[in-house]
Amino acid sequence: MARLLTAYFGDGKAKFYHAGMTKEEKNQVEKWFFDSDDGILTATCAYGMGMDKGNIYTVVHLDAPEHIENFAQEAGRAGRKGDDVHSVLIWNHADEIRYRQARPLSREKAMGDFVHAKTCRREVLLDCLGGEKTVCSGCDICDAKKKGVKLPDTAWDADTALQKIKKNRRIFKKEEAVKEIFEELNEKTIQIFKMNIWEAKDVAEILSQLFSERKIRVCGGLWENRLDIVKRTAKREKILRVIPRKTLRRLHLLRRLVRQVLEPEPKRSFFWSVLAFFGSVRCMNKNQDIKTRQPR
């Protein structure tokens, strides 16, 4: 991350800090950051304990803390002078899975409750930490209510990828979709950053999350390896959120086995019979080619 920030903002504008550094390296980075007015420090939780830098105005939690106490400590790195500051939490699908699997009333569950709050986040945070209630100084929910706007439930980059697949259903393979979405995302952001900030691996990660959330799927048959969206009803969506993915796979396999035992094989139409015939011929030819290529 420090390398990416340096490439964008220039040399000497960003540095990193972690527990694996030597004492001399840590002291050097600490002095640089303390004396800097516009420096960016990418750090693990190793930084901050005992540090009192008054002009930190933004904290970005790239990896969501496991416990809400850790979040409060990390967010508290900014605003030591009482100025208005920003705390931005990145919450991904892996964090959501961890939240769903957490025990009720646990510290991990409290972190997810804070993220999914529909009321004032400051109030939720103080309730979890046992603090006294005060007037909100400006969380995103309260700010949105004052402005009369609705907060989005999904990330715009994931929406862009999903809409691209929705408009081109069963057309792109995964590699082709990555290329198309990669180009579209860079077209949208190049006006802001004046450079391409998206890489193919970023788009591949977005697609992996969409697969994990069961929003897209890989087709078979005539559209083999092509991407398509998954249509859902509200009732099905509710059930899928509760049942783990492994259990769903086992239920699907069990249903197929039961159908094979109880239901007689249906008669194929002429169209499907022709497809099956040419499919088997193709497989035979492929096997023959493999045999002829084998060394004697």
Instruction: Reduce the secondary structure of 269-282 to three states and give it as a string.
Output: CHHHHHHHHHHHHH
The three-class DSSP label of residue 175 is helix
Per-residue pLDDT tens over the stretch 187-200: 999 988 888 889 99
Cβ burial of 239 (10 Å; 0-12, 13-18, 19+) is exposed
- In this model, does residue 140 exceed pLDDT 70? yes
Q: Is the pLDDT of residue 267 over 60?
A: no
**Is 106:112 a contact under the CB 8 Å cutoff?**
no
3-state secondary structure of 86: strand
The pTM for the full model equals: 0.69
Provide mean pLDDT across the span 222-243: 74
Residue 111 burial class via C-beta count within 10 angstroms: exposed 0-12, middle 13-18, buried 19 and up: buried
What's residue 154's pLDDT? 79
Round to whole Å and give the CA distance between 75 and 73. 6
pLDDT of residue 49: 60
Is 28 a residue whose pLDDT tops 90? yes
- Span 73-132, pLDDT tens digits: 888 888 888 888 899 999 887 888 888 888 888 888 999 999 989 889 988 888 888 877
Confidence band (pLDDT; 50, 70, 90) for 241? low
- Examine the pLDDT at 172 and tell me if it is beyond 80: yes
Diameter over CA atoms, the chain: 83
Q: What is the mean pLDDT of residues 23-38?
A: 91
With 60 as the cut, is the pLDDT of residue 56 above it?
yes
Partners of residue 217 on adjacent β-strands: 228
Nearest to 170 by CA among 210, 252, 230, 233: 230
* Backbone angles phi and psi of 15, in degrees to 5: -140, 165
How far apart, in Å, do the first and last CA atoms of the chain sit?
Answer: 53
CA distances from 144 to 89, 90, 120 (A): 17, 19, 11
SS3 8: helix
What pLDDT is stored for residue 168 in this prediction? 93
Token pair, residue 280, equals 């088997």
pLDDT digit string, tens, across residues 268-296: 455 555 555 555 445 444 444 444 444 44
| Residue 105 DSSP one-character state | T
Specify which residues 111 forms β-bridges with: none
| Helix axis angle, 156-167 to 200-212, nearest 10° | 80
